[in-house]
Amino acid sequence: MISITCLALLYLSLANIAYTAEGRMQIFASPGDNVTMPCQLKPSSSFSFNGNRIKWTKIEGDDDIDILLSMGSHNIKYGKYENRAHLKNIHENDATLVIYNVDLDDFGIYKCEIINGMDDLIVELELRMIGVVFPYSPRLGRYNLNFHDAEAACSEQEAVVASFEQLYQAWKGGLDWCNAGWLSDGTVQYPITKPREPCGGSNTQAGLRNYGRRDKSNSRFDVFCFTAGLNGNITFVNEKLTLPEAEQACQNEGAVLAKVGQMFAAWKLKGYDRCDAGWLADGSVRYPISKPRMKCSLTESAVRFVGFPEKKHKLYGAYCYKA
């Protein structure tokens, strides 16, 4: 049996790599990144790539989408990967693939296959998006979104409806939320890290509570959204403003009121911390706490939700976003 080693090279730090329980490597990236997909043999192996057949594919359901085929000095690239992928070829035992300018369709499971006579080697890797999952309900209140409304609500907040895997990873990271929300597969679930009576019972185990698949047109719940990153900066206008005044204050700075997804990305991915409630673009008032302290989310890091106040209340500052 051929032993392999998978190393993070050039574009990836160790912080961007994890492994599933089955041992599959997971590589985390954001849209627009250049990523390295490691596939190597140990230098001590007698197995050599000289003249061997190397094939990279992306697994899409029951299909394998061709990316690159290499046989000796001959390389063939396919489809959208023609100008965006190449083998590193650092040494004879290196079949590492580099993909440039990752887009949303690039995330998923990849397979590296090396064939040498009667021997072959197959390595699977998963490219996952860096991001943050957040629960969302509109001004109308709890449980007012059918699935199509949920998709629109996330899109309006610079996000997409979260997948089960994304919610699962968020739960593993400590997300605890007692309101059920749509996921991208049409199921309705919610994550509980601290079992209690209003959320499935205090004697139940922590985990994802699953309502199963629901009618996408007639069933109404909240939604879990996923946002991948932040391509700009959030600043705070420290004045007492109405919502229209907050919008104007941001415009005066060449910016716009931040969206909820942008606020969560700044909080989770960049450690944004401010103990001042401020307007956001959807008319909600929130504030991000990365360092819990007295009077500012004492026990947990979170984006605190004040509510949807009357737009004419002159009580809050403004969180502005500038790309």
pLDDT at 42: 58
Residue found by looking up tokens 């956001």 in the block: 280
Other beta carbons within 10 Å of 1? 5
Q: What CA–CA distances, in Å, run from 93 to 7, 46, 51, 72, 245?
A: 12, 10, 12, 13, 62
pLDDT at 269: 84
pLDDT at 50: 56
d(CA 53, CA 69): 7
Indicate the DSSP class of residue 145: B
- Choose among 221, 210, 142: nearest CA to 181: 221
List of domains in the chain:
4-129 (2.60.40.10), 132-227 (3.10.100.10), 233-322 (3.10.100.10)
Indicate the DSSP class of residue 160: E
d(CA 300, CA 292): 6
pLDDT at 11: 33
Q: Which residues of the chain have pLDDT under 50?
A: 1-15, 44
pLDDT at 322: 96
**What pTM was estimated for this model as a whole?**
0.67
pLDDT at 31: 73
pLDDT in tens, 43-56: 545 555 556 789 99
pLDDT at 1: 33
